[in-house]
Amino acid sequence: MRTVVVGHGMAGARLVEDLRALDPDAAITVFGAEPDPPYNRILLSDLLAGRAAVDDLVLGGPSDVDIRSGVAACAIDRAGKVVTGSDGSQAPYDTLVLATGSDPLLPPIDGLRVDLPGVEVFRTLADCRRIMARPTGRALVLGGGLLGLESARGLAGRGIEVTVVHAAPFLMERQLDLAAGQVLARTLRQLGIQTWVDAATVRVLGEDRFRGLLLADGRELHAELLVVSCGVRPNTGLARAAGLAVGRGIVVDETMRSVTDGSIYAVGECAEYAGQVHGLVAPSWEQAAVAAARISGVDPAARYLGSKLVTRLKAAGIELAAMGDTQVADDAGDDGPEVVSFIDPTRGTYKKVVIRDGRLVGAILLGDVSTVGTVTQLYDREGALPPDRLGLLFTGLAGQGPPPDPMSLPDRATVCQCNSVSKSAIAACVLAGARTVADVAAGTRAGTGCGTCRDTVAALVQGLSTCDAEPAVATA
């Protein structure tokens, strides 16, 4: 069975790894447009801030694969089942997997172009290297979404004066509400990052190089560097040219197959299932697992039925998790959902859970995320909620007391959300001889996604490895 994978990012690399594990004899060819080996894109902000090295981002993978790095796929012959690369090379396939990811979105602003010196996007390792190579004292980040704030925090970590310019009324408007956005802006300000919201940009200043932005209200913001983070668009050009059904992304069914061609799969940010396109790593890896199970034949019944998204902001000095439906109308009345919230702007804390029909349907935890494990599992599994709703916001009585010791987590508690790794899986890995976070990552993949669980993994490794006998694990 010959499988060709187009795209060697986080989704494509995971597909290759999963497929090789399930089918050691599969002939796999990979076209990767980037010259670098696959890397963890989520950690680019850490690289930008100087908290990580390139080697820390590199993802592992099987060595017995035909990887064509720096070679983009430029054509698909569906009749002949052949993919042609930008170097003229060809690869025949029985099964083709498209993991082409997304491209940065450039808003229609007068004078905005990526070839203007001083203008950069923040999407790839190459982008990050160019930004790091620029000596600058002031930078503007266009876009106050997840990626924009991560890039702003990375720039600030390099000692650069940063201002975020966001057209929406508050930051991260897709995940947060107004109050949370305001608390987040205050936290960023304390970290040296200024934010302008409700700030529509009408023109880029500078013809020979970037010099600033003109806002709709007439204000001018001046800087030497502009980082554009205004969202992404699924990369569907190759699929469209091949005649595959394309909506926002490449349209697939629950098996991750194209609805047009049963020998072609799509996974990750380029795939559209049930009208949804996901830009987070966890859904991409879930899709890759389903596609690998189907392609290998190991699990012909494997299905992808959608994902419940949990957004974590990966930025030093900021703890933020958001999930589900958090927007509740002020006039919802008695028929509206139950909302439990707490706000302490001075300390940068905002907590909110939204409950409908006895189930948790949305949450925001900013500043203090000590209950994120419990809240995430209740949201993901639609579990029964405790009568005392304050327990969803605070650990201990009325918010008093320290966060729970990771060793006291239930056996089934999910420690790594990106890879769905439970505490029991980590315990089994430690019992098998793992003694470091890296050992556990190699054995379970815990901590190889957004990285926010690594402290918990480290505490579990330390606690479990010091037990003289088999560790007692809570099962409540």
Report pLDDT digits (tens) over 60-90: 889 899 999 999 999 999 999 999 999 999 9
Query: pTM above 0.95?
Result: no
Burial 373-389 (b: 16+ CB within 10 A, else e): bbbbbbbbeeeebeeee
* pLDDT tens, position by position, 412-424: 777 887 777 888 8
Q: What is the residue-wise DSSP string for 136-175?
A: -SEEEEE--SHHHHHHHHHHHHTT-EEEEE-SSSSTTTTT
d(CA 151, CA 147): 6
CB burial of residue 460 (10 Å; 0-12, 13-18, 19+): buried
d(CA 419, CA 59): 14
Q: Which of 270, 48, 295, 252 is nearest to 150 (CA)?
A: 48
Q: What is the fold, at CATH topology level, of the domain defined by 406-476?
A: Arc Repressor Mutant, subunit A (1.10.10)
d(CA 298, CA 133): 47
Return the CATH class of domain 319-403.
Answer: alpha beta
- Residue pair 148/123 in contact by the 8 Å Cβ criterion: no
* Domain 119-230 indexed as CATH 3.40.50.720: no
Phi, psi (deg, nearest 5) at residue 26: -65, 140
Q: What is the fold, at CATH topology level, of the domain defined by 2-102+233-296?
A: FAD/NAD(P)-binding domain (3.50.50)
d(CA 438, CA 432): 14
- Residue pair 77/37 in contact by the 8 Å Cβ criterion: no
DSSP label of 399: G
Q: Are domains 2-102+233-296 and 119-230 of this chain identical in fold?
A: yes
pLDDT tens sequence for the chain (476 residues)? 899 999 999 999 999 999 999 999 999 999 999 999 999 998 998 999 888 999 999 998 898 999 999 999 999 999 999 999 999 999 999 999 999 999 999 999 999 999 999 999 999 999 999 999 987 789 999 999 999 999 999 999 888 999 999 999 999 999 999 999 999 999 999 999 999 999 999 999 999 999 999 999 999 999 999 999 999 999 999 999 999 999 999 999 999 999 999 999 999 999 999 999 998 899 999 999 999 999 999 999 999 999 988 999 877 789 999 999 998 866 666 678 899 999 999 999 999 999 999 999 999 999 999 888 889 889 988 888 888 899 899 976 444 445 557 777 777 777 887 777 888 888 888 877 888 888 888 788 887 777 777 778 888 888 888 764 444 444 33
- Residue pair 440/471 in contact by the 8 Å Cβ criterion: no
Could you tell me which residues are beta bridge partners of residue 141?
Answer: 164, 227
The domains of the chain are located at: 2-102+233-296, 119-230, 319-403, 406-476
E-assigned strands of 285-433? Answer: 310-312, 320-324, 338-344, 349-356, 359-366, 414-416, 421-422
What are the tokens at 61? 């993978």
